[in-house]
Amino acid sequence: MSNIPLDDLIEAAAGCRVLHAEGHADMTLGHLSFRDPHGRGVWMKRSGIGLGEVAGPEDFVLLSFEGERLAGEGRIHKEWPIHTELLRARLDVNAAGHSHPFYATLFSSMDLELEAVTNEAAYLGPRVARFEETRGLIDTQALGASLALALGDASTLLLRNHGVLFVGATIPEAVLMGVFLERACRSQIELLSTKQAYKATPKSELFAKKEQILDPNLIENFWSFYKRKADGGRSAAAA
């Protein structure tokens, strides 16, 4: 196959390792994908290895929007329709992840709104979507389409008793949304456990705060930081 987007594949592999390092590890579960720049479909992490074991381009498969393998070796995660349907529905989104981070999955079971008690929660924007049509795998195109509908224009979603979905215009943006969501859920759960009164960032300020953080320079700084951290503190220049 020609036209392999090597730079994007290297970034997506780094994104998987960042997710592993930031609380998204769950055995060999969890996946990250991005839109093929040539319009052929979706490049998705292969099944059978953990997020932290994703080394490079060889750990991705290219799927058409109908789920046919077009390139790449290895098994395909059963939840591939999450990625194909989401990227079909949201033309502003070019990267998406699904995983089972501990705190966010606990939070998905609670009948509570995620409040912006920390910066991370504010960066997620005014709305974290919810999905409860099933607690099972999103393994059909109909369920994938339903999940995309539930996400609407949000960047993150909690799947009740299952895990999370996070998306972005770029691979770094999607991964950072996943990282922020887990940190935000952890913050609120730990804060609630103190049983102390607290205040959150007012809703009226959330949109502006998200815009502040989605500054491309800051995203790039955070992305470089998390990649260095995930790969053992090596400098970005040396990596």
Residues that bind Zn ion (CB under 5 A): 163
Report the alpha-carbon distance of residue 67 to residue 56 in Å, rounded: 22
CB of 231 to Zn ion, least distance (A): 25
Return the number of the residue (41 or 163) whose C-beta is nearest Zn ion.
163
Return the number of the residue (163 or 178) whose C-beta is nearest Zn ion.
163
| In the complex, residue closest to Zn ion by CB | 163
Report the alpha-carbon distance of residue 215 to residue 211 in Å, rounded: 7
Residue 218 is encoded by which pair of tokens?
Answer: 């800051």
CB of 163 to Zn ion, least distance (A): 5
CB of 124 to Zn ion, least distance (A): 20
Of 64, 22, 23, the residue nearest 43 (C-alpha) = 64
Report the alpha-carbon distance of residue 16 to residue 84 in Å, rounded: 18
Of 51, 28, 44, the residue nearest 179 (C-alpha) = 51
Q: Scanning the structure block, which residue is given the tokens 């059963």?
A: 78
**Is residue 182 packed enough to be buried (19+ CB in 10 Å), middle (13-18) or exposed (0-12)?**
buried
CB of 191 to Zn ion, least distance (A): 27
Return the number of the residue (72 or 163) whose C-beta is nearest Zn ion.
163
Return the number of the residue (108 or 155) whose C-beta is nearest Zn ion.
108
Residue 161: phi and psi, rounded to 5, are 60, 25
CB of 160 to Zn ion, least distance (A): 12
Return the number of the residue (99 or 188) whose C-beta is nearest Zn ion.
99
